[in-house]
């Protein structure tokens, strides 16, 4: 039997009906679902005034395209994470560092699909704290060996930090 020449990938797809890979199909399913008018209404009701449903859907679509594994996750868990972001007024994704959508395994789920978990980043925590009105200021400093540092608990908490001369000294507190 003569040896057949290798078939190019594009030709192979033509002969097989140009099937769409499952991940792309799933991503498109989730993207279609979040673009439904009823979904836009649900997001608009949950969002604070400074954000729009269209913007949140664009951000969610971008996240699915950046992290294709999100498209393989349970659609309702993805929607739930987006609604949760909307309620908190945080944007998912790495651009602002407010919140991240991550696929997590769920062994209890009969479908075998992973769930999407909302992880709030430190910048999101700071944003939420500032918007709450419960804090006057927020700052972070590095305390090194040789610095004058003390903190007193009580009704009138007192924090003293006078940096030393040696910026190369080992870090003791943050």
Angle between helical axes of 75-88 and 37-46 (0-180°, round to 10): 30
pTM over 0.75: no
Residue 92: Cβ within 10 Å count = 28
Residue 112 buriedness (CB in 10 A; 0-12 / 13-18 / 19+) = exposed
Query: Is pLDDT above 50 for 140?
Result: yes
- Predicted local distance difference test score (pLDDT) of residue 20: 36
Q: Is residue 14 very low, low, confident or very high in pLDDT (cuts 50, 70, 90)?
A: very low
**pLDDT grade for 10, boundaries at 50, 70 and 90:** very low
CB under 8 Å, gap of 24 or more: what pairs does 145-152 form?
Answer: 145/169, 145/170, 145/171, 145/172, 147/172, 149/173
What is the per-residue pLDDT across 68-108, written as a single tens digit (0 to 9) for each? 888 888 888 888 999 899 889 898 987 888 999 999 887 65
């Amino acid at each position: 039997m003569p040896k057949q020449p290798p078939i190019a990938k594009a030709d192979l797809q033509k002969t097989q009906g140009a099937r769409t890979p499952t991940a792309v199909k799933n991503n498109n399913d989730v993207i279609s679902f979040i673009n439904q008018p009823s979904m836009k209404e649900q997001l608009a009701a949950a969002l604070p005034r400074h954000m729009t449903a269209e913007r949140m859907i664009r951000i969610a679509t971008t996240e699915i395209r950046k992290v294709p594994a999100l498209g393989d996750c349970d659609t309702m868990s993805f929607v739930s994470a987006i609604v949760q972001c909307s309620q908190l007024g945080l944007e998912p994704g790495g651009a602002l560092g407010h919140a991240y959508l991550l696929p997590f395994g769920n062994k209890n789920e009969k479908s075998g699909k992973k769930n999407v978990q909302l992880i709030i980043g430190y910048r999101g925590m700071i944003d939420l704290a500032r918007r709450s009105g419960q804090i006057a200021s927020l700052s972070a400093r590095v305390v090194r060996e040789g610095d004058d540092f003390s903190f007193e608990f009580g009704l009138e908490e007192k924090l003293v930090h006078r940096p030393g001369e040696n910026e190369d000294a080992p870090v003791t507190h943050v």
